[in-house]
Amino acid sequence: MIQILRLNHRIHRDERLTTHVALTARAFLSSKLYYSGQKDSNFENSIKKVNKQFGSKFTTEYTKNPLKLIQNKKKSKFTIIHLTAYGLQLPKILKKIKNKNILIIVGGSKVEPEYYKLSDFNISITSQPISEVSALAVFLHEFLNKKELTSTFKDAKTKIIPSEFKKVIKNKENQ
Amino acid sequence: MIQILRLNHRIHRDERLTTHVALTARAFLSSKLYYSGQKDSNFENSIKKVNKQFGSKFTTEYTKNPLKLIQNKKKSKFTIIHLTAYGLQLPKILKKIKNKNILIIVGGSKVEPEYYKLSDFNISITSQPISEVSALAVFLHEFLNKKELTSTFKDAKTKIIPSEFKKVIKNKENQ
């Protein structure tokens, strides 16, 4: 099981980036995104709409106390991964975490030292400043062994058909 | 050579997302990002600052006429890739474009049909709505055969040392 924790969300200012994090998490077969900071119904609704149209059981949930959430996940035997420019290189860690239940933490602007300490692995994608969105995508792409590239969601109202030009089909059973 | 074209940038509204696109392009070994829409000095300067501190010859350039830019790149034998949820699946295309000079187009909100037609390949990462940032990252990760994960830039003032906790070294020769 793959879950995400997005830290320090701010209404308006972070809405689009957190949405991109969530859409990436969903398409890359995560089951849930927790987020801390400010509770944001607009953000939550935009993800619900995507689920309704394109399928998947992906959910979002606001958490007031992300440190406690992490501690609870550790008790439930989740491996805690923190994606940060400063972490260890992914190829060195990948074997150690394959097939585990994981919680992936992504910032947020400044991430407090507690999160580095609580994490089982601080992992960097490229050891350069990039984006939590691209770091999450490449991490999950490797973790899933590319499985997400050709996966589909059964409960979709609209299904995108890979094609040279735009092509979708409406699934009448799910309308 | 890898170049990117980011369409329809809007000052303020798109600044952070376009910055994340550019940081991803830079860390994933692209040489240049063109962008259309509104010219944005804040965005350009923020990328210059990252280059100055962390190295690389990556540049950004505003273009008023993105369609003409694409036509010129085609004349210079670039293969034009458009990343879109609606495109063909990446694994089917990858062999055809390996080792080519490529220009990768990413939206922008709505992308006009001309861009689909001018592109040699419309490619989708996951056939789901995701993010131009994560689509670009996973595309380049596959195109580069993971090379970006362990690459370094020689002209860096500050170099991030992959580690379990934060660690950087200041390169005195480049200060």
Residue spans of the domains in chain B: they are 2-174
CA distance A175 to chain B (A): 18
Handedness of CA A17, B138, B125, B18 (dihedral sign): positive
- Chain A residues touching residue B167 (CB < 8 angstroms): 86
Q: Report d(CA B48, CA A174) in Å as an integer.
A: 49
Specify the pLDDT at position A78. 98
Q: Can you name the CATH fold of A2-149?
A: Alpha/beta knot (3.40.1280)
pLDDT of residue A171: 72
Instruction: Look at residue A164 in the predicted model and tell me its pLDDT.
Output: 86
pLDDT of res. B169? 75
Residues of chain A in contact with residue B16, where contact means CB-CB under 8 angstroms, are 16-17
pLDDT at A91 over 80: yes
Residues in chain B: 175
- What pTM, to 2 d.p., does this model score? 0.95
Per-residue confidence (pLDDT) for residue A109, from 0 to 100: 73
Q: What's CA A13's distance to the chain center, in Å?
A: 19
Confidence of residue A170 (pLDDT cuts 50, 70, 90): confident
How confident is the model over B37-79, as pLDDT tens digits?
999 999 999 999 999 999 999 999 999 999 999 999 999 999 9
CATH number, domain B2-174: 3.40.1280.10
The nearest alpha carbon in chain B to A49 belongs to: B129
Instruction: Report, as ranges of residue numbers, the positions in chain B whose pLDDT lies below 50.
Output: none
pLDDT the model gives residue A2: 98
Q: Taking Cα atoms as reference points, which of A50, A54, A58, A41 lies closest to residue A140?
A: A58
Which chain B residues are closer than 8 Å to A151 by Cβ?
A: 126
Cα separation, B99 vs B108, whole angstroms: 27
- The number of beta carbons lying within 10 Å of the beta carbon of residue A137 is 32
Would the CB atoms of A20 and B128 count as touching at under 8 Å? no
